[in-house]
Structure 1
């Protein structure tokens, strides 16, 4: 008799899957059993109760010590004896240093003629753009009118800067360039005063100051027939080619 097997009734077909599922469940239960922790709740509560009981302390009763009041101060004596001073005090006589009205002080007499009173002239500043007669730069004396003198003045200033220009060695080595703005005044005697510089580097400012300070004396600017102080500003460009 031949035994017929149904392929659907094979019990070993899914045995591997069931083995893996069972092994996973066992490992999970084992891990939870190892991680399980228990705490002694009764002992903790007991320790806390004992700690609370220890906080209550019996405060001893103190008694107020009464001290005796201080004795009263001694009474003042009824009789006061006056003791005479036997020493004599010499009086100090202070003589007055004031002089009478009749005294004549000859040394204090000062003659009015000996005092010289100098009149301080008021300094007038007139801008370069509106002055009647601009300062005359040496070499511009032949200019006929004020406009020509202004043009000659500016041209001579530029020539003077190009002639005196020297690039500072430190700035040249470091490659420092920039523009220095120089402001100065031409006073009522034609001298360059009050030089101020503003630029990107101290070495460039120092060189621009030196150039402007070397300007020659000029004929001062005139306003209504009077020599006045004239401000002027010019930029000095430092550029490495």
Structure 2
């Protein structure tokens, strides 16, 4: 029996240098730079884009010639003449100035003493009051009457009017009104009037009254009074005057 030993350097059967190799050789790519597909594609794309842009620009700039024929008919315009109307301005007249108001000054400075009437309350109620008739009018004069303009009314003059007969003449004229007596009405009535150049009383006005017929009685007696006319620079003038008249009832037991 032969035994073979594995020595170093011994080759395995079939592994000698003369044994042919069965591994296929690796393939090495070889490219021709002149026929590079990617490079030629990019160049062709750029050239195409340039040509497309040039064609588009040429179409836009090229003048378009329209071969169709048409006729434009313009309708005749109607001319309307507008007449200018001149505007008229209406003049507004200013309103007339208001008349000056004449203020009548009421002076309380010229007032006679109060006339206090102490009448007996026990007077017979059935007795009718006696009223004095008004004085008769003055007889007509043969002298021509001169039309005089309304004289100025003074409030204060150099010589004030004087009551002829004094306050007693007015007191004797007063009759206590029956209504005021029954109702027990008392108080002061102030009468304002004008003393004319002849001493007569005109335009009486009740400045303060108490009613119940006392105001009318005071006016009646004032109209019957006569005055010495007031004077200004020695000439008779119209003067405004006031008299307060007090109506007062007296008890039967009072003296």
TM range (shorter): 0.3 to 0.5
**What TM-score comes out, normalization by structure 2 length?**
0.37
Larger radius of gyration: 2
**Between structures 1 and 2, the one with greater helix share:** 1
**What TM-score comes out, normalization by structure 1 length?**
0.39
Greater RCO between the two (CA within 8 Å, min separation 6)?
Answer: 2
